[in-house]
């Protein structure tokens, strides 16, 4: 995080302010994300090997059995109430990762990025002089707020605050109750995903640029369609998406113009733009 000699900088303070305002939305997204976890097979790591127990997370949760194991788990998620949301986060998946890792990538990270961008927008609108001074210190022109946030490094500390908010609200709540609370929003998110996937891409109607974009878009859509990636592509799959598009022969500098027309989540598009910019290859 970028600090001045006088304490935390403007965006660090505003980001926490915006996070407090959006706390309800964060909790709602966490509940929506949890929907379906009860149906997942339960796994444990035994002597270094991940094995299935023959039950689902939900079956163990309703009988009060712990979901996390002794060989896995994060220290801050330890001592969880058996069958609770916190216990589920600390459980191991079939691939040996923790559900907490997926939750961080799919919920916390994109939410925090959006929160930091909202804080930057607020700073730009309400404190233009301070905003201009901050941009000067960061060496940024302010044209890409996602890049400004990346350079300022405000996300990492705010993720900790966001995780604490979620655990304070949901940590001890039984998993099945969290899922029930999140069901309405999860249905909305699923409908939005279907709508985005079905919407025809908008491209320029005429001219050489339109032909080039249409051709690149055709290749990109075909590559995504055969890649097996979930749609819309979540931020957790951003690196794999980039590999898929480049393997199709698309140029890095072509991708920023294509992203608004592809079935990807906004946070995924932002992540790809930041990656390309960091490599010095994108606009």
Q: Are residues 155 and 269 in the same domain?
A: no
- pLDDT digits over 182-191, tens only? 998 888 877 7
Evaluate if residue 8 carries a pLDDT over 60: no
Q: Are residues 124 and 207 in the same domain?
A: no
Evaluate if residue 259 carries a pLDDT over 60: yes
Higher confidence at residue 233 or residue 162? Answer: 162
Q: Are residues 121 and 227 in the same domain?
A: no
- pLDDT digits over 53-112, tens only? 999 999 999 988 999 877 676 777 778 899 999 999 999 998 889 999 999 999 999 999
Residue 132 lies in a domain: yes
Residue 274 lies in a domain: yes
Evaluate if residue 197 carries a pLDDT over 70: no
The pLDDT score that the predictor gives to residue 22 is 94
What average pLDDT score do residues 8-26 get? 91
Residue 137 lies in a domain: yes
Residue 283 lies in a domain: no
Evaluate if residue 2 carries a pLDDT over 50: no
141 CB-contact burial (10 Å; exposed 0-12 / middle 13-18 / buried 19+): exposed
Evaluate if residue 165 carries a pLDDT over 90: yes
Domain's final residue, options 148, 176, 197: 197
Q: Are residues 126 and 256 in the same domain?
A: no
Domain's final residue, options 197, 226, 261: 197
Q: Are residues 214 and 167 in the same domain?
A: no
- pLDDT digits over 208-219, tens only? 455 667 788 888
The pLDDT score that the predictor gives to residue 210 is 54
Higher confidence at residue 79 or residue 176? Answer: 176
Residue 68 lies in a domain: yes
Q: Are residues 127 and 77 in the same domain?
A: yes
Q: How many domains, in total, are found in the chain?
A: 2
Domain's final residue, options 151, 178, 197: 197
The pLDDT score that the predictor gives to residue 196 is 61
Domain that holds residue 64: 1-197
Report which of 172, 190, 179, 236 is spatially closest to residue 36, judged by C-alpha positions.
179
**Band of residue 283 on the pLDDT scale cut at 50, 70, 90:** very low
Q: Are residues 140 and 261 in the same domain?
A: no
The pLDDT score that the predictor gives to residue 211 is 62
Q: Are residues 76 and 187 in the same domain?
A: yes
């Amino acid at each position: 995080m970028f600090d001045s000699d006088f304490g935390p900088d403007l965006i660090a303070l505003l980001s926490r302010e915006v996070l407090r305002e959006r706390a309800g939305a964060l909790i709602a997204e966490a509940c929506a994300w949890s929907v379906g976890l009860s149906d997942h097979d339960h796994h444990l790591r035994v002597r270094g090997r991940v094995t299935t127990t023959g039950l689902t997370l939900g079956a163990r949760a309703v009988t009060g059995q712990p979901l996390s194991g002794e060989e896995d788990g994060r220290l801050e998620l330890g001592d969880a109430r058996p069958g609770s949301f916190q216990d589920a986060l600390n459980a191991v998946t079939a691939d040996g990762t923790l559900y907490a890792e997926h939750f961080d990538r799919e919920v916390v990270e994109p939410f925090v990025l959006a929160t930091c961008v909202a804080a930057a927008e607020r700073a730009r609108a309400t404190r233009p002089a301070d905003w201009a001074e901050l941009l000067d210190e960061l060496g940024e022109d302010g044209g890409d707020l996602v890049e400004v946030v990346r350079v300022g490094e405000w996300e990492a500390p705010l993720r900790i605050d966001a995780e604490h908010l979620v655990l304070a609200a949901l940590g001890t709540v039984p998993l099945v109750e969290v899922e029930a609370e999140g069901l309405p929003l999860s249905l909305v998110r699923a409908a939005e995903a279907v709508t985005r996937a079905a919407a025809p891409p908008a491209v320029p109607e005429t001219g050489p640029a339109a032909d080039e974009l249409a051709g690149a878009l055709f290749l990109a859509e075909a590559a995504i369609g055969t890649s097996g990636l979930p749609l819309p592509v979540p931020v957790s799959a951003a690196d794999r998406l980039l590999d898929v598009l480049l393997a199709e022969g698309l140029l890095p500098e072509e991708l920023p113009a294509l992203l608004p027309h592809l079935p990807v989540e906004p946070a995924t598009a932002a992540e790809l733009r930041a990656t390309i910019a960091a490599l010095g290859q994108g606009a």
